[in-house]
Amino acid sequence: MTITAAADGSALGNPGPAGWAWYIDDNNWAAGGWKHATNNQGELKAVLELFRATAHVDDDLLVLCDSQYVINSVTKWMRGWKAKGWRKADGKAVMNLELLQEIDEALVGRRYRFEWVKGHANHPLNEAADSRARAVSEAYQRGSAIPTGPGFVAGGPAPAVPKAAPAKAAPAKAAPATSAAPRASVDLGLFDLEVDRPHSVQVALSTEELARLTRRASTRGVSPEELLRDLI
């Protein structure tokens, strides 16, 4: 089967209060946004969240999009940018890098196709996605509740992401009797750690953040703990 969905973004003032939305039908759609972002960021985020929401079903995905920037970024330019270390042909850094890297990860193993549709031309799916993205941007502007939608309910619940086991700190070595006393903890910054013994750091992650961490680690063939350690 093929899932056909529209993805769209909205930003009041561009940049300004912004929203994103993907839409399949009235029972399957999702939206979100930020207090301050650009329209292109909304367009990219809509595509990213559509791929994430449907990642657990083995269906082709047809993405209807009115943004040539998004379509060209994903289908034409991204491979070259990635090969150049996420730099454009002129050597300048790629805009919206984190969103593009997350989309690149979300595409792995997926069967998909993008189709351009003209915006604000009464295309029913595009209009539905556009109106929901704009509703989010307007909600951020007013400071009211954000209409997030039911998500992708047609595919059933997504498999639970296994929780990463907390890292175990190795037992501390006993200090020699003649060693100087360690610095008081009040003198230590967050990452200004003593180097004579291992330390453990606990980080609280949302379900989405943990899923993203697990995907990135799996792509690189390492554990989530090893991926985090590589950032130091």
Active site positions, annotated: 8-9, 43, 66, 120, 130
List all residues 6 or more positions away from 14 whose beta carbon is below 8 Å from its beta carbon: 38, 39
Radius of gyration of the chain (CA): 22
Strands 60-65, 28-37: pairing kind = unpaired
Instruction: Tell me the torsion sign for CA atoms 220, 222, 228, 230.
Output: negative
Q: How far apart are CA 163 and CA 65, in angstroms?
A: 34
Nearest-angstrom CA–CA distance, 152 and 50: 9
In terms of Cα–Cα distance, which of 105, 103, 123, 147 is closest to 4? Answer: 123
Spatial contact of 32 and 88, defined as CB atoms under 8 Å apart: no
CB contact at 8 A, 40 and 96? yes
